[in-house]
Structure 1
Amino acid sequence: MQVSEAMTRDVRVANVEQTIEQAAQLMAGLDAGALPVSDDSRLVGMITDRDIAIRAVARGKGPETRVRDVMTDDVKYCFVDQEIEEVTRNMGDVQVRRLPVVDRDKQLVGILSLGDVAVTTGDGVAGEALMGISRPGGAHSQTG
């Protein structure tokens, strides 16, 4: 099964110049914990509710802090025509629960979450990825 069969296509995007308050309001309205971040039309990062809590609030930064100041700028992504099994294995390896999905021209076309994978495949692949993601430590840390 390819990513295109499981991903969420209607993706809202935060802008690097928005405040974290605006990003959090967008997340709340979407009932989502993460947003891709763009600068003009280029994907430059991801911002999560955890980024806001750990990199902003825990460090005393206020709601006017810009998204660019707390986002994760090491963008991990997958391609729309990749196989789900390969992508979920990669998600476990790099310890992320969701990935922006791009086409071969690297234009954002969706987002893939472990929830999308679990609902669509029902074959335990999401659980295996979650075991990898849940390992303590690893390269992906909000405190860095």
Structure 2
Amino acid sequence: MYIKDVMSTEYQWIAPEATICEAARLMKDQDIGFLPIGENDRLIGTVTDRDITLRAVADNLNTSTQVRDIMTPQLMYCYDDQSVDEICQNMAEIKVRRLPVVNRDKRLVGTVSLGDLAQAQTQQSGEALQSITNCDNAVSQAA
């Protein structure tokens, strides 16, 4: 199973010039904790609810501060054609809960979260169990 099979394509993104107040409001309105930051159709960073808390609120920054001033600029992302297993391992190693998903042209195409991956793993386990059950039934009927 590939990331493109489990990712969310209904994502929100925000421009680096947006204020932290706008980012927080968008997160609240959409009930999300993560926003990719895009500029000229390219991913340039991310901002999370944690970034806003630790880099803005804790430092008493003005709510008109631009998102670019608190974003995480180190681009951590995955490709839509990578396997779910590979990305599960990568996310565990780098200790992130969400990743932007890009295509091979590095255009943002979605986001993937631990919840998306857990749901995919559950579905995959269920399919494997169903396959085993069907195989067991066929063997017991043949006997």
Report if TM-score (shorter chain) is over 0.5: yes
RMSD over equivalenced CA pairs, Å: 1.6
TM-score relative to the length of structure 2: 0.84
* 2:36 maps to 1:36: yes
Q: Is the 8 A contact 1:45 1:71 kept in 2?
A: yes
Paired position in structure 1 for 2:67: 67
Aligned residue identity for 1:33: G
- Distance (whole Å) between structure 2 residues aligned to residue 105 and residue 48 of structure 1: 24
Could you say which structure has the higher helix fraction? 2
| Percentage identity across paired residues of the two chains | 45
What CA distance in whole angstroms lies between the structure 1 residues aligned with 2:9 and 2:115?
14
SS in 2 for 1:122: helix
Secondary structure (helix, strand or coil) at the match of 1:9 reads: coil
Distance 1:123 1:95, change over 3 A: farther
Aligned match of 1:138: none
Counterpart for residue 89 of structure 2:
89
Aligned partners of 2:123 and 2:58: how far apart in 1?
Answer: 38
Q: Which runs of 5+ in 1 are unaligned?
A: 126-144
Aligned length: 125
Residue 52 (structure 1) aligns with: 52
Structure 2: 5+ residue runs without aligned partners? Answer: 126-143
Show CA shifts across 1:102-139 (max 9, x none): 111111000000011112221799xxxxxxxxxxxxxx
Please give the residue correspondences for 1:1-144 in structure 2 after superposition, counting only pairs within 5 Å: 1-122=1-122
Please state how far the C-alpha of 1:40 moved relative to its aligned partner. Answer: 2.3
Secondary structure of the residue that 1:47 maps to in structure 2?
strand
Secondary structure at 1:105 match in 2: coil
Question: Which residue type is aligned with residue 21 of structure 2?
Answer: E
Q: Which of 1 and 2 has greater Rg? A: 2
